[in-house]
Chains A and B, each alone.
Chain A
């Protein structure tokens, strides 16, 4: 409930926010297009592009297949055992990989699966000579399964737990065996969410940058995103970057259109735990397969996290913390994070307000356009992945070398846009319920305009705004995509510093840095989660980090 002038103002700033987002997206894309039109397509380059595209699709497809194929039996086992010790803890653990900066997780994976990692040493004990290599396709797959298998399991599990307890009693009463129960009851309950999870995982893997950069590399294992980065940073071949970007946008567009068809599951990990007893499930030693599967999944997800902590603590943290370089990077990261979060929350707030002002259903074509575009703005930023976005700006700024303010602004802008869809998802429902509660009252008291925003609306939405803000800071803090393009001697963030240490084989320093960065991000994510939990699960559940 707004006054006439408030409506006018809401819509005006909504349009302004949209124009800003549009410019931020359209400017780099139009630069890419115009540059691309000028550059011809050489014969050998066609092969190269085809190979990169094929590998991008191959690794995303295999990652999705493995993640979901493992998540389905895992979710089933977890649903069959609703009340073992540590179950809640384990399911919370499954949320950690997505909250962690990919670079930190990659480091943990290297500790476990790398040449001198736990896995290879274990294999050596069995007399296996050739060490298993984490670099290349196998490493990319392990990393993607590490990130997405727990996510998929958390998305699939609620579908099983929502089934009424009578189902399990009936199954036990009728004597339905494991196989027919899976075929007739469990799989039908998982099918929808498994399909949605598969779509989401494919999207995340097709646009994954950091993991492929660290674990892939080499011409044989490069994805579009990494190839764009290499074309710009190493070969300075804008034409190639442009073509790669165009393919990437086309690819994500196709995947997103596909995702529209299969509905996305949203309630991740909303698990009751222990509420439904399972009389159809055998106890005693016959629980062993479930126990083994759950323990293996726990170890697979937990080991890299433990490795990050252990190797981080073994590093010389004291020296690292007294290093001026570290504090400069931390300062830069924090500054970028705070700025990006401010931009992100402001844009989200303006657009949510404008959409509310437009109302349901919109009164005119013009207004429905405003409403639709604000709704789409969130998804649009997923359509153009950060590296592609960065590539456009990179070309516009002529590489950004030697500059300071322009690249910093672009990094802030890209990080802000990355967080935007998630921030909107937190703020929108909270805004709607706050307006429902306070709208008429504010109007009847004559509290309008800026007074109202300052005294009623913002205080009423402090918790969701803070959740969105903290989440955006955390996301920005762990980002390597934008900084990888614009990082320089003068602009160093924590992930960039970590990446450099990793590249120069300063592994002890890298381990220490990874622990500090991981801990900082986790703390922020937990704060955001706690703040979000107070808003009720509906508004917060189902956030996904790209």
Chain B
């Protein structure tokens, strides 16, 4: 592979004792990876390490071939979408998106036009002056995607972003996310606990268990495999006779 990996974890260790974790993996640009595993396995820890919210004990994190261990979160070229509270509840929708363009909100007319375009892109044209509380959960997540859209960062981290939206809405949102990813050309790491979501959106899987990567494999056919005890346990399947 001549091209640098979009993201690489090189023996990245975090924490000590029961809460410790160690990850090594790398992903090519433009790939979509679903991160699966039981709760408490360290999925969010992995994303928080990549985003720079947590500092590793040892090991190197590289984004586009560049070590980022010492870079603060905003300089890592990362956008992040959480399950909840992505929007500042007291700021209107356009302000929430505008902050993605300039964190001090110094936007010229062109900047605000970009915000309107992004709103239009996620199907919320005309919602700019509304408050987050007046939107449904799905609409709020669309706004979060619109903010990631205007930011155009090479790495998109999603922490169970469509959890609790219901299957139909989650599938719509997943589609929207994939379109935006394609337009921005971003690499995606997506934590999910829904195998269907992983199947539908991801081309690769990271199965995390007890702070370790138990499986790093292609998504195609992954859930049909029976050689991984962690996967059997995670899916609650009985061992094959």
Instruction: State whether B99 touches A174 (Cβ < 8 A).
Output: yes
With an 8 A cutoff between CB atoms, is A316 at the interface?
no
With an 8 A cutoff between CB atoms, is B91 at the interface?
yes
With an 8 A cutoff between CB atoms, is B80 at the interface?
yes
Instruction: State whether A279 touches B85 (Cβ < 8 A).
Output: no
Number of A-B contacts (CB under 8 A): 69
CB within 8 Å of B: which A161-189 residues: 164-167, 169-177, 179-180, 184-185, 188-189
Closest A residue, CB atoms, query B47: A169
| Choice from B53, B78, B90 contacting A188 with Cβ under 8 Å | B90
Distance of A183 Cα from B121 Cα, bound (Å)? 29
With an 8 A cutoff between CB atoms, is A277 at the interface?
yes
Q: What chain A residues lie within 8 Å of B65 (beta carbons)?
A: none
Given A184-B88, A185-B88, A279-B52; A173-B78 close (CB under 8 Å)? yes
Instruction: State whether A172 touches B85 (Cβ < 8 A).
Output: no
| Choice from A167, A180, A188, A280 contacting B85 with Cβ under 8 Å | A167
Min CB–CB distance A82 → chain B (angstroms): 14
Instruction: State whether A167 touches B52 (Cβ < 8 A).
Output: no
| Choice from A175, A177, A185, A277 contacting B53 with Cβ under 8 Å | A277
Q: How many residues on A have C-beta within 8 angstroms of the other chain's C-beta atoms?
A: 23
Q: What chain A residues lie within 8 Å of B100 (beta carbons)?
A: 174
Instruction: State whether B104 touches A176 (Cβ < 8 A).
Output: yes
Q: What chain B residues lie within 8 Å of A173 (beta carbons)?
A: 51, 73-74, 78-80
Distance of A200 Cα from B99 Cα, bound (Å)? 35
Q: What chain A residues lie within 8 Å of B85 (beta carbons)?
A: 164-167, 170
CB within 8 Å of A: which B33-70 residues: 48, 51-54
With an 8 A cutoff between CB atoms, is B84 at the interface?
yes
Instruction: State whether B52 touches A175 (Cβ < 8 A).
Output: no
Closest B residue, CB atoms, query A169: B53
Given A177-B103, A180-B104; A164-B84 close (CB under 8 Å)? yes
Q: What chain B residues lie within 8 Å of A169 (beta carbons)?
A: 48, 51, 53, 80, 82
Min CB–CB distance A279 → chain B (angstroms): 4
Bitwise, B14-26 to A at CB < 8 A (1) or not (0) is 0000000000000
With an 8 A cutoff between CB atoms, is B105 at the interface?
yes
Distance of A282 Cα from B75 Cα, bound (Å)? 14
Q: What chain B residues lie within 8 Å of A174 (beta carbons)?
A: 74, 99-100, 103, 151
Closest A residue, CB atoms, query B76: A173
Distance of A177 Cα from B79 Cα, bound (Å)? 17
Min CB–CB distance A213 → chain B (angstroms): 44
Distance of A56 Cα from B154 Cα, bound (Å)? 61
With an 8 A cutoff between CB atoms, is B131 at the interface?
no
Distance of A165 Cα from B53 Cα, bound (Å)? 11
With an 8 A cutoff between CB atoms, is B239 at the interface?
no
Instruction: State whether A170 touches B53 (Cβ < 8 A).
Output: no
Distance of A176 Cα from B78 Cα, bound (Å)? 14
Min CB–CB distance A119 → chain B (angstroms): 39
Instruction: State whether A170 touches B51 (Cβ < 8 A).
Output: no
Closest A residue, CB atoms, query B96: A170
Distance of A27 Cα from B155 Cα, bound (Å)? 75
Q: What chain B residues lie within 8 Å of A176 (beta carbons)?
A: 99, 103-104
Instruction: State whether B104 touches A167 (Cβ < 8 A).
Output: no
Instruction: State whether B53 touches A167 (Cβ < 8 A).
Output: no
With an 8 A cutoff between CB atoms, is B31 at the interface?
no
Distance of A167 Cα from B80 Cα, bound (Å)? 12
Bitwise, A142-177 to B at CB < 8 A (1) or not (0) is 000000000000000000000011110111111111
Given A176-B99, A176-B103, A180-B104; A166-B86 close (CB under 8 Å)? yes
With an 8 A cutoff between CB atoms, is B72 at the interface?
yes
Min CB–CB distance B157 → chain A (angstroms): 9
Distance of A189 Cα from B78 Cα, bound (Å)? 27
Q: What chain A residues lie within 8 Å of B74 (beta carbons)?
A: 172-175
Instruction: State whether B53 touches A172 (Cβ < 8 A).
Output: yes
Distance of A36 Cα from B88 Cα, bound (Å)? 56
CB within 8 Å of B: which A268-283 residues: 277, 279-280, 282
Q: What chain B residues lie within 8 Å of A282 (beta carbons)?
A: 72
CB within 8 Å of A: which B197-235 residues: none
Instruction: State whether A175 touches B75 (Cβ < 8 A).
Output: yes
Min CB–CB distance B214 → chain A (angstroms): 26
Distance of A174 Cα from B76 Cα, bound (Å)? 10
Distance of A277 Cα from B54 Cα, bound (Å)? 9
Q: Which of B48, B51, B79, B88 counts the most A-chain CB atoms under 10 A from its CB? A: B88
Q: What chain A residues lie within 8 Å of B104 (beta carbons)?
A: 176-177, 179-180
Closest A residue, CB atoms, query B74: A175
Distance of A180 Cα from B100 Cα, bound (Å)? 13
- 13 A-B pairs within 8 Å (CB atoms) are namely A169-B48, A170-B82, A171-B103, A172-B52, A172-B74, A173-B78, A173-B80, A174-B103, A179-B104, A185-B88, A189-B90, A277-B53, A279-B51
Residues in chain A within 8 A of chain B (CB atoms)? 164-167, 169-177, 179-180, 184-185, 188-189, 277, 279-280, 282
For the complex of A and B, list the 5 residue pairs with the smallest distance between their C-beta atoms, beginning with the closest. Answer: A175-B74, A279-B53, A166-B85, A164-B85, A180-B104
A-B contacts besides A175-B72, A279-B73, 16 pairs, CB < 8 Å: A166-B86, A169-B80, A170-B80, A172-B51, A172-B72, A173-B78, A174-B74, A174-B99, A175-B73, A180-B104, A277-B53, A279-B48, A279-B52, A279-B53, A279-B54, A282-B72
Residues in chain B within 8 A of chain A (CB atoms)? 48, 51-54, 72-75, 78-80, 82, 84-86, 88, 90-91, 95, 99-100, 103-105, 151
